[in-house]
Structure 1
């Protein structure tokens, strides 16, 4: 009986530790970025200065590099199980349609299309072409698709299928690594129009929020996400 009691005591301690760790991790992630609603004027001012704080993303034109990364993409598709592969929209059997993008910090990426008109970044190491990570992207709208700060921060967007809100995640790109900094769930915005990075590692976004309350109404939203690290 004593042995069973000891086992239950240890089991309870383990569960408590897991619970504490998970909740602490969520709390810490929330503290890494603060979201607030701002005025149209504040957004316009930040957007006018965006070139001071954003990194340019180039498209790789070198056939050798493109061929290698496109083959890596094809290999990842071929190694997926059937259920996982159903998530993606195959663009072409030879994968030559996937543009290869040059990101800062020695990273290459390509936009891989999923269903529901969304996409993912698949990142590869520029040195050895090793797969690094996959993340969300921003939707392609008004000519803006890739929005990276000069300090290596990147924001991504995930629409909901069940309401008018979205999840916005912020990542940090470093040499051959990508780290999730924070994820804001249920952000009150439905359609994004413009986005940019500004001073003090702050991400700005404007768009529309659809509200279904005795019919459809639309609110204009101007938001900023200030990253603390």
Structure 2
């Protein structure tokens, strides 16, 4: 997500997913005029969280970028929040911002909650590639895709690959979203764009990602794609189940009727 570099704003994301409407400027000594906020919604991610935070922090530092990571934990019973507090002590409160919630309230609302604490210009949700791509056309949204040359998935069985491909194909046929991957969550948004899209979006579960990108295209946003390789979680299992598949089908029908 991004904000106008001449204005003061704030933003975090799992967008990364991150969002925010605060008004604080960055005083970082970074060579970049922008600050990047990453929103990480978590639920039972104690073992995965240190890995993703380390990789994000390493990437930001290597490219001399001002950054923050907003962690929105939904009362994980496995100690994710306690681990996040340790990461905050390690990296500093200016880089790791904790915004826990009292229950498992859903992915979409986690992004909304995180955005309220962002202070960055951009919210990326492959950071360097996304940043470079955004500059070419001053894109409003840059989304990662597994389904163009250079992209792919690692660690999925055949069943999950077929479900994912089928879900994206169905959305492309029915909704004409203008992108090859509507369900991915690796994205970079201009902050004002994300704030507007979130206000318009009604979905709060797994349909959230699809609705955001469909509404972005429908309202004339410049949306570009970057090929990514999706690596499945190191620990634990995917939270995608039968109820999420039903929600997805219902979401396509809702967007077909309303967008």
TM-score (norm 1): 0.25
Considering only CA atoms, is the larger Rg found in Structure 1 or Structure 2?
Answer: 1
- Give the number of the structure with larger relative contact order, counting CA–CA contacts within 8 Å between residues 6 or more apart: 2
TM-score (norm 2): 0.23
More strand by share: 1
More helix by share: 2
